[in-house]
Structure 1
Amino acid sequence: MNYGMIVYMLGWICLFEAMFMALPLMVAVIYQEPAGWAYLMVLVLCAVLGLLLTRRKVKNRKIYGRDGLVIVAFCWIVLSIFGAAPFVISGDIPSFTDALFETISGFTTTGSSILNDVEALSRANLFWRSFTHWIGGMGVLVFILALLPIKAGGAGMYIMRAESPGPRVRKLVPKIKTTAMILYAIYFGMTVLQIILMLLAGTPLFDAMVLSFGSAGTGGFAIKNDGLASYTNLQQAIVTVAMILFGVNFNFYYLLLRRKPRQALACTEVWAYLGIIAASILVITIQVLPRFETVYQAFHHTAFQVSSIITTTGYSTADFNEWNALSKTILVLIMFVGACAGSTGGGIKVSRIIILLKGVRKEVMRVCHPRSIKKVKMDGHSLEHEAVHSVYAFVIIYICIFVVSLLVITLDEKDLVTNFTAVAATINNIGPGLNIVGPAGNFSSFSDLSKFVLMFDMLAGRLELLPLLVLFVPSTWKK
C-alpha cells in the first residue's frame, strides 16, 4: 500500500474542494447572505490542509489496483465530510448527520433528502447542494486527472477505473489525462447547452444553472418543495431530454465527435437503454391516462418520470406514489436497471444487465449442448471470461449489501415498501422511493443508524461497490 500517494491525493482533494467552495461563496456575496462566511471558513481550512498534505513530495508514485480503490474511497469520504460543514456552520442543517446525508446524497448524485422545506435554505446552500451533483456526476478524481500536473505513469487508469461507473472502462485515447479532458469537455459542453436552452425557455438564471447541474450529474436535488411541478411544460421537456442524454455512455458522443457514426450506432447498450425507456413510457402512459386531462399530459409526465428514474436523477413533476401498482412496479424495476455504463447515471447499468442475460443464455446452451463452445459477445466483440465473471460477482455483492441494509433499517419499524425502496433508491443513486420516501416525502424520519447505512449504500452504489468494501479487508493495508 502506497500511503504517501494516498495522503498526497487527499491533499489535492482538499485543494480542489477549496476551489469548488469559491462558487457558493460568490453566490452568497451576490445575494448578500451570511452563509458566505461558512463557505469562506471551509475554503480556508481546505486550502491550508491541502497545501500541508501536498507540500511533501512523494518519491514512489506507483499506484496499483488496490491503491486506486482506497484513494477513491477515501477521497469521496473526505470530500463529503468537508462538503457537509457549510450546512452545519450556516445553521441551515444543524445536525451533522443530516448534513452529511444531504452532502453524500449530492456528491453521489443520489438526490435523497432529509429536508422538509427546501425553499428555506439560502441561495448559497441551494447552489452548493446542486453543484455537488455536477462535481460527482463525472467523478471528482476524473476532473483532477484532467487538470492535475501529476506524472504517475499508468496509475491514473486504476483511479479512473475505480471511480467510473460501469463494468468496463477503456481509454478513449492512449493517455489517461487526455481521456479525462475529453470526458469533461463533453460533460461541460452538454451542461452549458442545457443552461442556454433553459434560459431560452424563460427559466431564471439561478434555476437554469442548478437544474442543469442536477440533470447533468443525474442527481435530482430540486430547489422548490413541489420538485419541478411548477415549471412550464417546455422547461420540463428540456430536462427530460437532458436526463436521457446524460444517461448515455459518453463513448457514444466521443465516437460521434470523431465522425464514426457507424461505431456509435452499433452500441448495443444505447439501443437497449432507449428501448427500455420507450417501452416503459408506452405502458405507463396507458396506465395513468385516467389521472390526466389529455393524452399529451399523461405522456409528458410519464416520459419525465421514466427518464428521471432510469437515469437515477430523481426529479419529479408528479407524485408517482399515487399511480397504480403496475406503473409503480415498472418504475421500481428500472431503478435497478439504471443508465448506461460510462454515463453519469447510477443503477446496475444496462450493459451489466445485457451481459448477465447473455451469460445465463450461454450457460443454458452449454447444458443443452455440452460440447458446444459459446462466448458472450458485446458490440460484436467477445468478452473475456473475467469480464463476465466480474458482472456475476458484482450482482452477488450488490444483493448481499442490499439484503443487509434492508435488515438493518427495518429496526426503525417502517413498512416494507418504504424500507425496500429506500435501499433501492440509495444504492442505485436515484433519490425518491415509495410511501414515506416517495416524491412528496423524504428520509428525515429514519434513525441516525439507518441514515449511516443508507449513506454507505449511496457511496457504494456510486463507486461500484468495491472501493468501499476494500477498506474493510485487512490485507488491503499491508505494504
Structure 2
Amino acid sequence: MIRRILPTFGVTLITFGMTFMLPLVISIIGDDGAGHAFWPASLIAAFSGLILVSPAIIAREMPSLMPRDGMLLVALCWTLLPALAALPLIDYFQAAGKPISWSFAYFEAVSGLTTTGATVITGLDDLPYAINFWRCFLQWIGGMGILILAVAILPLVSAGAGSIFKAESTGPLKEAKLTPRIAQTAKGLWGVYAAISLACFFAYWAAGMSFGDAWLHMFSTMSLGGLSSHDSSFGFFNSPTLEWIAIFFMLIASGSFALYFVALHKRKVLIVFKDPEWWGTLTLLLGSSLLITVLLLLRGVYSDPWEALRAATFSTVSIGSTTGYATVDYTTWPIFAPVLILMLSGVATSAGSTGAGIKMARLIILIKQTRREVMRMLHPRAVNPLMINGEPVANGVIFAALAFMLVYGGTILVLTGLLLLTDMPLDTAFSAVIATVNNAGPGLNEIGPAGNYSGLTALQLNICSAAMILGRLEMMSILAIFTVEFWRE
C-alpha cells in the first residue's frame, strides 16, 4: 500500500513545492527581505517529490490507487504538508531574531491549510507582506484541497484520481460524480472557486481595501479561513461596506461549490435556490443573526439597531461559517450569544463547501430521520422513506451520517479531556476543541476574538493541531487507518 501511494504523494509534493514560488516572487518584487524563507522549502518539496515519483516516470505508469490508498494518502498529505509549510515561518522568525518553536510554526501552518484561521503570531501588521501572503494563501489552496489541485493540473495522478477525490471530499453524499471524469470535475471545481474568488477580490478592492489586503482577505474569505494581516482582524478596516461584502461572500463560500459547478455546467442557476442544504445554511445563519441582534438590543449592549444588526450578523456569519474574522469581542456579549455562535460552526456549512464540522446535510438527515422514527412509532406499517430534494436517501448514507455524528461527539470529548489534563480551564478547553475541530478559529476567553492561541503550551498546540486535521478530514478516514482491517491486503 505504501509503495502505491508514494508516486502520487511525490506529485503532490511537486505541486505544493510550486506554491512557494508565488510568495518568493512577491518578496523579491516588494523587496521585503523575506524571500530567503521560501526557496529552501520549495527545493525540499520539489526534490523529495521527484525522488518519490521517479520510479513511476521510469515505468511510464502510475500505480492505480484503491479507496484505502486514497485515505492513507490524504492523511499523509494533511499531516506532512503543514510541516513543509511551516519552514518559511521558522526561517523568517529565526533570521528576524524572534525564533518560534516547531509547535508554533506547525500550528500556524496547519491552521492555514485546514482553513481554521487560528493564529499564534502577534504583530501581524509589522510582518513582511510575503509572510502574511503565505499565511493567507495556504488557506486558499487548502480550502479546495491541494490534492484536488494536483488532480486538476497534473495528468500523472489520473490513475488514482477517483480514490483521491473521494478521500479528499467531505460530506455524506461525496460518492456522487459531478462529471464522468474526475480530473474534469476537479478542474471545474477549482474554476468555480477561482472565479468567485476573483469577484470577491474586486469587490473588496472597489470598496476601498488596499490592493494587497484585498488579495489576502479574499484568500481568507473564500476559504472560510479567517486569517488576517492585521492583529485586529477584519475590525482593522472599520467599514460597514467591507463587512457586508464579507458577509455576502462568506455566505456564498459556506454553500456547496459542487452545487455551483453543477448549476453552471447544466446552465440551471435555479438549482442552487432549490437545494435544501443551501436554504438550511442560509436560514440558520441569518435567523441566528436576527435572534442575536434582538438579544443585544434587549440587553442594552447596543442602542442603535443598525449597529447591533451589523455586529451580530458579521460575527454570526463569520464564526458560524467557520471563517473566524472578528470586528468586535463578542465574548463580552450575554453568554448565550457567543455559545450559539460557536455551536453554529458545527452545522452552518454545506457539504462541498470549504468549511468543516458536521455539515448541514447531516443535520437535515438527522432531523428527517428523527421525524421518520416518530412517524414509525405512530404508524408502524407506514412506508416513509427519507427524502432529500425529492430523492430517497439510501440507508447506508443515513447510517454513515449517524455514525459520523457519534465519532464527532466522541472526538470532542476525548480532545477536551486531553486539554483538561494539561490544566486548561474547562470552558477554554471545550471552546478550543470546538473551534479547531470545526476549523472555526476563535474560541472563548484568551483564545477568543480579542486574543489568540499564543499563550498555549507546546503540548496544547499539538493537541489543537491534531484537532484541526481531524476536523478537516472528517475523522472517519483517520479512524479507519487505525483499524487492523485497513492494513490487510
Using the size of structure 2 for normalisation, the TM-score is 0.94
Instruction: Supply the distance in 1 between the matched residues of 2:133 and 2:269 (Cα, whole angstroms).
Output: 37
Residue 337 of structure 1 aligns to a residue whose secondary structure is coil
Which residue in the other structure is 1:173 paired with? Answer: 179
Instruction: Supply the distance in 1 between the matched residues of 2:449 and 2:423 (Cα, whole angstroms).
Output: 21
Is 2:88 aligned against 1:86?
Answer: yes
How far apart are 1:343 and its partner, in Å?
A: 0.8
How far apart are 1:262 and its partner, in Å?
A: 4.1
Is 2:47 aligned against 1:48?
Answer: yes
How far apart are 1:60 and its partner, in Å?
A: 6.4
2:302 to 286, 292, 295: 292
Instruction: Supply the distance in 1 between the matched residues of 2:126 and 2:433 (Cα, whole angstroms).
Output: 27
Residue 134 of structure 1 contacts residue 217 of structure 1 at CA under 8 Å; is this kept in 2? yes
The answer for unaligned runs of 5 or more in structure 2 is none
Counterpart mapping for 1:262-277 below 5 A: 262-277=270-285
| Pair 473,122 (structure 1): closer, same or farther in 2 beyond 3 Å | farther
State the one-letter code of the partner of 1:69: M
Instruction: Supply the distance in 1 between the matched residues of 2:161 and 2:43 (Cα, whole angstroms).
Output: 28
Is 2:70 aligned against 1:68?
Answer: yes
* Identity, % of aligned positions: 32
Residue 338 of structure 1 contacts residue 428 of structure 1 at CA under 8 Å; is this kept in 2? no
Is 2:244 aligned against 1:237?
Answer: yes
State the one-letter code of the partner of 2:164: I
Residue 412 of structure 1 contacts residue 446 of structure 1 at CA under 8 Å; is this kept in 2? no
Residue 235 of structure 2 aligns to a residue whose secondary structure is coil
Which residue in the other structure is 1:218 paired with? Answer: 224
Describe the superposition over 1:215-258 as per-residue Cα deviations: whole angstroms up to 9, x where unpaired: 01100001111111121221122111111111111233224323
Which residue in the other structure is 1:421 paired with? Answer: 431
Instruction: Supply the distance in 2 between the matched residues of 1:359 and 1:121 (Cα, whole angstroms).
Output: 50
State the one-letter code of the partner of 2:214: A
Which residue in the other structure is 1:132 paired with? Answer: 138
Instruction: Supply the distance in 1 between the matched residues of 2:314 and 2:302 (Cα, whole angstroms).
Output: 14
Instruction: Supply the distance in 2 between the matched residues of 1:38 and 1:272 (Cα, whole angstroms).
Output: 44
Describe the superposition over 1:244-281 as per-residue Cα deviations: whole angstroms up to 9, x where unpaired: 11111123322432322443322111111111112101
- What do you get for the CA RMSD once the two structures are aligned? 1.6
Residue 204 of structure 2 contacts residue 245 of structure 2 at CA under 8 Å; is this kept in 1? yes
Instruction: Supply the distance in 2 between the matched residues of 1:406 and 1:308 (Cα, whole angstroms).
Output: 23
Residue 339 of structure 1 contacts residue 346 of structure 1 at CA under 8 Å; is this kept in 2? yes
2:168 to 163, 166, 173: 163
Counterpart mapping for 1:330-409 below 5 A: 330-409=340-419
Instruction: Supply the distance in 2 between the matched residues of 1:414 and 1:148 (Cα, whole angstroms).
Output: 45
Which residue in the other structure is 1:459 paired with? Answer: 469
Residue 107 of structure 2 contacts residue 465 of structure 2 at CA under 8 Å; is this kept in 1? yes
State the one-letter code of the partner of 2:231: N
Residue 336 of structure 1 contacts residue 347 of structure 1 at CA under 8 Å; is this kept in 2? yes
Residue 13 of structure 1 contacts residue 79 of structure 1 at CA under 8 Å; is this kept in 2? no
State the one-letter code of the partner of 1:39: F
Instruction: Supply the distance in 1 between the matched residues of 2:330 and 2:386 (Cα, whole angstroms).
Output: 37
Instruction: Supply the distance in 1 between the matched residues of 2:279 and 2:311 (Cα, whole angstroms).
Output: 22
| Pair 239,60 (structure 1): closer, same or farther in 2 beyond 3 Å | closer
Which residue in the other structure is 1:119 paired with? Answer: 125
Instruction: Supply the distance in 1 between the matched residues of 2:426 and 2:73 (Cα, whole angstroms).
Output: 36
Instruction: Supply the distance in 2 between the matched residues of 1:407 and 1:250 (Cα, whole angstroms).
Output: 35
| Pair 22,360 (structure 1): closer, same or farther in 2 beyond 3 Å | same
Residue 341 of structure 1 aligns to a residue whose secondary structure is coil
Residue 336 of structure 1 aligns to a residue whose secondary structure is coil
How far apart are 1:370 and its partner, in Å?
A: 2.4
Residue 254 of structure 2 contacts residue 354 of structure 2 at CA under 8 Å; is this kept in 1? yes
Residue 151 of structure 2 contacts residue 158 of structure 2 at CA under 8 Å; is this kept in 1? no
Instruction: Supply the distance in 1 between the matched residues of 2:260 and 2:459 (Cα, whole angstroms).
Output: 42
Instruction: Supply the distance in 2 between the matched residues of 1:157 and 1:183 (Cα, whole angstroms).
Output: 15
State the one-letter code of the partner of 2:23: P
Residue 233 of structure 2 aligns to a residue whose secondary structure is coil
Instruction: Supply the distance in 2 between the matched residues of 1:393 and 1:159 (Cα, whole angstroms).
Output: 22
Q: Bigger CA drift: 377-386 or 446-455?
A: 446-455
How far apart are 1:172 and its partner, in Å?
A: 1.6
Residue 284 of structure 2 contacts residue 348 of structure 2 at CA under 8 Å; is this kept in 1? no
Residue 162 of structure 1 contacts residue 464 of structure 1 at CA under 8 Å; is this kept in 2? no
Describe the superposition over 1:400-440 as per-residue Cα deviations: whole angstroms up to 9, x where unpaired: 11111000101232322111110000000000011121001
Is 2:249 aligned against 1:247?
Answer: no
Residue 11 of structure 1 contacts residue 54 of structure 1 at CA under 8 Å; is this kept in 2? yes
Describe the superposition over 1:110-135 as per-residue Cα deviations: whole angstroms up to 9, x where unpaired: 01111233224322111100001001
Residue 152 of structure 2 contacts residue 187 of structure 2 at CA under 8 Å; is this kept in 1? yes
Describe the superposition over 1:333-392 as per-residue Cα deviations: whole angstroms up to 9, x where unpaired: 212213011111112100110001111222222233222222211111001110000001
Describe the superposition over 1:282-307 as per-residue Cα deviations: whole angstroms up to 9, x where unpaired: 11111223333522111112111111
| Pair 226,266 (structure 1): closer, same or farther in 2 beyond 3 Å | same
Q: Bigger CA drift: 204-213 or 108-117?
A: 108-117
Q: Bigger CA drift: 62-71 or 96-105?
A: 62-71
Residue 331 of structure 1 aligns to a residue whose secondary structure is helix
Instruction: Supply the distance in 2 between the matched residues of 1:62 and 1:375 (Cα, whole angstroms).
Output: 37
Instruction: Supply the distance in 2 between the matched residues of 1:362 and 1:442 (Cα, whole angstroms).
Output: 43
State the one-letter code of the partner of 1:438: G
The answer for unaligned runs of 5 or more in structure 1 is none
- Give aligned pairs, total: 477
2:193 to 157, 173, 187: 187
Using the size of structure 1 for normalisation, the TM-score is 0.96
2:319 to 309, 317, 322: 309
Residue 70 of structure 1 contacts residue 470 of structure 1 at CA under 8 Å; is this kept in 2? no
Which residue in the other structure is 2:21 paired with? Answer: 22
Instruction: Supply the distance in 2 between the matched residues of 1:171 and 1:104 (Cα, whole angstroms).
Output: 29
How far apart are 1:151 and its partner, in Å?
A: 6.1
Q: Bigger CA drift: 469-478 or 367-376?
A: 469-478
Which residue in the other structure is 1:142 paired with? Answer: 148
Instruction: Supply the distance in 2 between the matched residues of 1:41 and 1:33 (Cα, whole angstroms).
Output: 17
State the one-letter code of the partner of 2:310: H
State the one-letter code of the partner of 2:170: P
Instruction: Supply the distance in 2 between the matched residues of 1:222 and 1:54 (Cα, whole angstroms).
Output: 36
1:430 to 440, 447, 450: 440
Q: Bigger CA drift: 337-346 or 417-426?
A: 337-346
Residue 172 of structure 1 aligns to a residue whose secondary structure is coil
Which residue in the other structure is 2:336 paired with? Answer: 326
Residue 165 of structure 1 contacts residue 344 of structure 1 at CA under 8 Å; is this kept in 2? no
